[in-house]
């Protein structure tokens, strides 16, 4: 049994690999469940990590997602190498998307990803450099309420 | 009501193996946008959709959905059924439209 007080694990994400897309988030959900985290917090963390993972799959060349736990918080951080986001304020608006038609036909790219992360996380920080990449800092307080 | 009972009552085709179908159905959600399903579906829902690529399985797994119903007789990509069996997700299909099958499921669960 892993300890929830000093947990840290990093996962590699390949850009445009739709076959494996979502598998890291499923993995993260299983880990949090196994660590005995409150179900509602697990649900919120799973949604946020899925949306972030899909953003890297859809837009970036590659990226890394790290899950860390301490007695107070779950922290999910992501770093990608990709096109970056020109205007974060606009990207955070519900319905705004830069997805291709092909991606949208699959039911992705509805412009809900970043708003979904914001809605479910207790802290969500996004930093981006155009032409280089984007980083995410997503935090869940372990003493917070389960569902949003 | 279990997935098996819903299958019988609505005459759904079962694409996965039968033993995965005893999950309790708590509701339904009809949508083809994955982020919307991620945001608004709940544990035990049946998801009605025309998206048949394998990413639907990750969504179903992540949200602990009871199963997926493909509409308009759409058949999923080849590898999906095997993967769904491994993941214990019921994959079903109907020749009816999303509107029609949603209405019937709603009546059944009401």
Q: Give residue B57's region: left, alpha or beta (phi > 0; psi -120 to 50).
A: alpha
Indicate whether A146 belongs to any domain: no
List phi, psi (to 5°) of A62.
-165, 170
When the pLDDT of each residue in chain B is averaged and rounded to a whole number, the result is 94
Domains plus CATH for chain B?
3-109 (3.40.1390.20)
Question: Do residues A67 and A8 make contact, with C-beta atoms less than 8 angstroms apart?
Answer: yes
Indicate whether A61 belongs to any domain: yes
pLDDT of residue B7: 96
> Per the structure block, which two tokens stand in for B30?
């009809």
List phi, psi (to 5°) of A137.
-125, 110
pLDDT mean values, one per 10 residues, chain A (148 residues) = 79 95 96 95 97 97 97 96 97 96 95 97 98 98 78
Q: What's the gap in Å between the CA of B79 and the closest CA on chain A?
A: 10
Indicate whether A66 belongs to any domain: yes
Give contacts of A108 with chain B, Cβ < 8 Å. 34-35, 55
What would the pLDDT profile of A17-58 be if each residue is shown by its tens digit?
Answer: 999 999 999 999 999 999 999 999 999 999 999 999 999 999
Can you give the residue range of the structural domain that contains A114?
Answer: 7-141
What CATH number does the domain containing A15 carry? 3.30.565.10
Indicate whether A70 belongs to any domain: yes
Give contacts of A29 with chain B, Cβ < 8 Å. 62
> Which among B42, B58, B80 is the top mutation candidate for probing chain A, defined by the most A β-carbons within 10 Å of its own β-carbon?
B58
Instruction: Verify whether the Cβ–Cβ distance B33 to A112 is below 8 Å.
Output: yes
User: How many domains does chain A contain in total?
Assistant: 1
> Which among A13, A22, A31 is the top mutation candidate for probing chain B, defined by the most B β-carbons within 10 Å of its own β-carbon?
A22
Instruction: Verify whether the Cβ–Cβ distance A50 to B62 is below 8 Å.
Output: yes
Length of chain A: 148
- CA distances to A49, A92, A93, A118, A141 from A129, in Å: 21, 16, 19, 20, 28
Q: What is the ipTM of this complex?
A: 0.91
């Amino acid at each position: 049994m892993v300890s929830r007080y000093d947990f840290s694990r990093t996962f590699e994400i390949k850009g445009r690999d739709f076959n494996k897309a979502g598998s890291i988030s499923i993995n993260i959900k299983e880990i949090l469940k196994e660590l005995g985290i409150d179900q509602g917090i697990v649900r919120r963390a799973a949604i946020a990590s899925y949306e972030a993972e899909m953003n890297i799959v859809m837009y970036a060349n590659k990226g890394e997602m790290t899950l860390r736990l301490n007695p107070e918080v779950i922290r999910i951080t992501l770093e990608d190498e990709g096109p970056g986001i020109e205007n974060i304020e606009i990207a955070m608006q519900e319905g705004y998307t830069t997805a291709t038609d092909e991606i949208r036909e699959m039911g992705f790219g509805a412009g809900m990803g970043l708003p979904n992360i914001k809605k479910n996380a207790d802290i969500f920080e996004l930093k981006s450099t155009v032409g280089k990449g984007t980083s995410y800092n997503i935090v869940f307080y372990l003493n917070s309420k389960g569902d949003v | 009501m279990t997935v098996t009972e819903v299958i019988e009552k609505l005459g759904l085709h079962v694409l996965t193996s039968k033993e995965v179908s005893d999950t309790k159905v708590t509701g339904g959600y009809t949508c083809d946008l994955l982020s919307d399903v991620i945001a608004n579906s709940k544990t035990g829902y049946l998801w009605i959709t025309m998206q048949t690529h394998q990413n639907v399985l990750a969504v179903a797994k992540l949200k602990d959905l009871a199963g997926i119903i493909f509409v308009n007789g759409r058949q999923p990509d080849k590898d999906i059924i095997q993967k769904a069996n491994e993941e214990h997700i019921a994959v079903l299909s109907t020749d009816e439209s999303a509107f029609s099958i949603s209405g019937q499921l709603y009546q059944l669960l009401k």
